[in-house]
Amino acid sequence: MPATSDKILHLRQLLAERFGQSGMAVEEVYSTGFKALDEIGLPRAAITEIVSSPQAGPGGALLLYGLLHASIQKGDRAVLIDGKDSFQPQGLRQADLDRLLWTRCRQAGEAIKAADLIVRDGNIPLVLLLLTLNPASELRRVPPTVWHRLQMLAEKSAVTLLVFTPAAQIGSARLRLSVSGVFPLGKLHRCRSELLPALDLQIERRRVGRERGCDDEELCRAVCA
């Protein structure tokens, strides 16, 4: 048995010298330019689920606008797949809209088909799938295999896919965040940049690597505009 173990160790050493150390233990991250998300680290070429229930107030919408503005200002292009045709572009500058492809859908199934095509294409590094206002009955009809396929497509095309949902449901997501915040009525008249610091982001689950288990951790952190 010791001789066999020595041979295995020797083989591992030869493989490391010939091909280098495996990078699987290091999770590549996608830089959005949005400080709070970049501190958490969005996994590149993977699905991140962002849970924002309607009862949590405007937190999800604020995060969406802040993320779009920051990533576009950084020089990236982005695709927004709007699952319920609910996005209001007035919050973004015209220069931001010029680098945003807005795909307007009315049903979750239609939006997921659009995401499949765009992620498969792989020409735009950041894709956002907005399903927050889609009925729960629609989302429940999406089988887990659909999300697994999107995860595999994201890995293959190196696309970072962020899916906004009203409740956690994507088991294959590499990272799951929940967004909330306290927004008194007296402050809702302020511009979005002034409301961003009231956002709270919480890590509900993080899956490191393709073959590792999920490590559950929690994080509440104020977003910096």
Give tens-digit pLDDT for 8-65.
566 656 655 654 544 333 458 999 888 888 889 999 999 999 998 876 666 778 888 8
Residue 137, phi then psi, degrees to nearest 5: -65, -35
Q: Which is more confident, 142 or 96? A: 142
| Domain total in the chain | 1
Assess if residue 16 is contained within a domain: no
The string over 34-63, giving b where at least 16 C-beta atoms fall within 10 Å of a residue's C-beta and e elsewhere, is bebbeebbbbbbbbbbbbbbeebbbbbbbb
Among the ranges given (49-63, 74-88, 142-156, 166-180), the one the predictor scored with the smallest mean pLDDT: 49-63
Range of the domain at 204: 27-222
**Quick one: DSSP state of residue 183?**
-
pLDDT, tens digit, for every residue of 205-217?
Answer: 998 755 444 444 4
Assess if residue 120 is contained within a domain: yes
Instruction: Report how far residue 142's alpha carbon sits from residue 61's, in angstroms, rounded to the nearest whole number.
Output: 23
Assess if residue 11 is contained within a domain: no
Cβ-based burial of 177 (10 A; exposed 0-12, middle 13-18, buried ≥19): buried
* Locus of tokens 């007296």: 186
Instruction: Tell me which residue of 74, 55, 68, 132 sits closest to 102, measured CA to CA.
Output: 68
Q: Which is more confident, 156 or 23? A: 156
With a pLDDT cut of 90, the percent of the chain lying above it is: 46
Assess if residue 6 is contained within a domain: no
Query: Angle, to 10 degrees, between the axis of helix 108-121 and the axis of helix 144-157?
Result: 20
Assess if residue 149 is contained within a domain: yes
Residue 149 has pLDDT above 70, yes or no: yes
Assess if residue 186 is contained within a domain: yes
Assess if residue 142 is contained within a domain: yes
CATH code for position 192: 3.40.50.300
pLDDT of residue 93: 82
Assess if residue 4 is contained within a domain: no
